[in-house]
Structure 1
Amino acid sequence: MKILLVGEYNASHFTLKEGLTHLGHEVTVVGFGDGFKNRKVDVKFKRPYDHGVRQFVRRVLYKLFKIDLNSSSIKKQFYSQQQLFQGNDIVQLINENAFGTLPNIEQELLQFIFQHNKNVFLLSCGTDHLSVKYAMDEKFRYSIATPYLEKRGTEADFLHMTQYIRPAYEALHNFIAKNVKGIIASDLDYHIPLEGHPKYLGMVPNPVNLNPFNYIAPEITDKVVIFHGINNSNYYKKGNDIFEAALALVSKTHSDKIEITTVRSVPYAEYIQLFDGCHILLDQVFAYDQGFNALEAMAKGKVVFTGAEQEFLDYYNLEEDEVAINALPDAQAIANKLIWLIDNPDKIVAIAKNARSFIEKEHNHILASQRYFEKWTK
């Protein structure tokens, strides 16, 4: 089949492509490479007004006239390659704002796709209207909305999330939901808000191509190495402030037993190499399940502090701390878990081994591709 995957978060679509290609399908990924991460795509769209003077001009024009130069540029890029968006057997959108344009332009581009492709599906991956509304209504015990509701940071820090509950984005959500054949979730943080939706087809766990990720059995001969990768634009959303507070607590009592490495907003190719030497990786706090960075670290044999809530344990029939550490929104709780691992290095070895086995069993990209194809064609 001819399959088009629109948009990219980390490597979810490109990894899916690798699995689908293995199964004999013709697959193209169109996207932006997920910003500074510079992830691989087949056809790369650009946002030319995101930096320097051009960004300043874009902001002024938008403030004065509600004209967004990036949206206009992306629209031109779309129509210059409109043949990509026609005659596909399957099209999947990475989320409700796959092109990252203003809602009215996004709807225009999607209308073209709906008119020229019979089977269009939506992947709930990253923030969208339903998941953000569910979080803002405080239906989760904690969520990506928690730091916003607790007034950490500024309004601008959370705009990438709160925009999805504005009327224009809600209208875009309704338009997409009406026109897609079905909706698939990539993990439990998106699965839970979608339960009961008439077009929800179920969850397919994020695909991970294990080939590039060699398992590195942890060897602890001296200090326990802790890696903390920070995305500056998602600092509060990911709970990086809580991780930093937890590390400060641990350093008070165990500074002689640990080595902390912190990096900020580095491209993916650099990031994936930087944490090779660590034993523990701090990923994110406000989640019930793991995202791509956590999964890839687990594949390499790292003990990851991430989303591993009871719902996750129940879904996969796991025990607490079996494959990952659930990072609660509590610096002292995280510090206590870190100290437990530092004082019991055998636990690091056991969890790392379990983590790799879990990724092999549940996230293998060939298996995930088969699951996607079954849902698309069912």
Structure 2
Amino acid sequence: MKILLVGEYNRTHYNLKKALNKLGHEALVIGTEDGFKKVDVDIEINNPFNSYLLKKTRSLIYRVFKIDLLSVYTKNKIKSNKHLLSNYDVVQYINESPFLIDRKGELAIFKLFNSWNKKSFLLSTGTDYISVSYAFDKKFRYSILTPLFEGKVSKKDFSPALNYLSKSHKTLHDYIVSKISGIISKDLDYHIPLLGHPKYLGMIPHAIDVDSLEYKKPVVKDKVVIFHGINTNNYYKKGNDIFDAALEIISKKHTDKVDIITVKDLPYKAYIESFNKAHILLDQVYAYDQGFNALEAMAKGIVVFTGAEKEWLEYYNVQEDTIAINALPDEVLIAEKLEWLINNPEVITEISLNARQFVEQHHNYINCAISYLDKWS
């Protein structure tokens, strides 16, 4: 089977491509490098308008003529690669807006791919119309929009997410849904809003290349190492402010027992390498399930504070605080969990081993690829 994977977040599609190749299928990933993360793709759609002057030029031309220069550039680059992007059995989009251009341009590109290839499918991962609508209507107990509701950020700060509720995006969403063969979610944060949708095919967990991630049993000698990686654009959306407040409590109370490492906006490969010495990683607060970075850290044997809500416990039939630590939006509760681990380092070892086994069992990229092939068929 020939599969075209459109768009990339972290290594979601690239890991799937590697697994498909191992299973004897042909797959290609086209997309951006996911901003500063610099992830791997086969055909890169770069942004030539990154300099200050060109950004201003692009913005001015859009305001005056309603023409997005990056959209024009992206569409032309895709057209020039038509011979590499045609005659696939399956096209899968990582998002309704995989190239981060104006919605009219995204729609035009979707129509190109749809006319060049056979069946198409949509992944629900990252923000999209359905998940953002669900969060905006406050159907979750908490969500990525909670900082907006609490007044920590403005609507302008959250415009990238709120744009998925705009009229232009709703038009794009409706058209895509009318043409695709089905929608697949990546974790419970996207699975739950999709339940009951007529084109929903179910959830396939994040595909993790466990073969490339070496497990190391954590050994706590003098201090417990806590790692906090921050994407400044998503500081409040991921709950990094709450983690910072929890770390402030811990650093004052247990200065002699902890070593805290904080990094900001690292490229993907540097980020993965930078937490290798950590015993504990602080991932995100406003989630019900684990994302890609959390799972890779868990595979390496690191105890991760992330989404591990009761819905996740029930779905996988696991016990609380045995595989991942649920990071609730409360710095005192997070600090209490951190203190429990600091005072009981043997528990870190237990959770570490459980986390690796969990990723191997439920997130192995080969098994996930087999699930995709089944749903695509």
Per the normalisation by structure 2, the TM-score is 0.98
Q: Is residue 223 from structure 1 mapped to residue 201 from structure 2 by the alignment?
A: no
- Larger deviation: 305-314 or 96-105? 96-105
Distance 1:234 1:113 in 2: 31
Distance 1:308 1:51 in 2: 40
Distance 1:69 1:175 in 2: 23
Distance 1:210 1:220 in 2: 24
Match of 1:74 in 2: 74
Match of 1:299 in 2: 299
Match of 1:325 in 2: 325
> 1:233: how far off?
0.9
Distance 1:210 1:185 in 2: 20
Question: What per-residue deviation string (whole Å, max 9, x for no partner) do you get for residues 108-142 of structure 1?
Answer: 11112222222100011110000000000000000
Match of 2:166 in 1: 166
Over the matched positions of the two proteins, sequence identity in percent amounts to: 53
Distance 1:30 1:65 in 2: 29
SS of equivalent residue, structure 1 residue 260: strand
> 1:153: how far off?
2.3
> 1:54: how far off?
1.4
User: Is there any run of 5+ residues in structure 2 with no aligned partner, and where?
Assistant: none
Amino acid at match of 2:74: I
Distance 1:18 1:110 in 2: 24
Asked whether the equivalents of residues 89 and 117 of structure 2 are also in contact (C-alpha less than 8 Å), the reply is yes
> 1:280: how far off?
0.3
Asked whether the equivalents of residues 12 and 292 of structure 2 are also in contact (C-alpha less than 8 Å), the reply is yes
Match of 1:181 in 2: 181
Distance change in 2, residues 1:154/1:63 (3 Å): farther
SS of equivalent residue, structure 1 residue 156: coil
- Larger deviation: 340-349 or 80-89? 80-89
> 1:57: how far off?
2.0
Distance 1:152 1:249 in 2: 21
Match of 1:135 in 2: 135
Per the normalisation by structure 1, the TM-score is 0.98
Match of 1:269 in 2: 269
SS of equivalent residue, structure 2 residue 305: strand
Amino acid at match of 1:362: H
SS of equivalent residue, structure 2 residue 92: strand
Q: CA RMSD in A?
A: 1.0
- Larger deviation: 149-158 or 123-132? 149-158
> 1:314: how far off?
0.5
Distance 2:326 2:119 in 1: 37
- Larger deviation: 120-129 or 45-54? 45-54
Alignment of 1:205-244 (within 5 A): 205-244=205-244
Distance 1:291 1:196 in 2: 23
SS of equivalent residue, structure 1 residue 151: coil
SS of equivalent residue, structure 1 residue 58: helix
Alignment of 1:21-32 (within 5 A): 21-32=21-32
* Matched pairs, number: 377
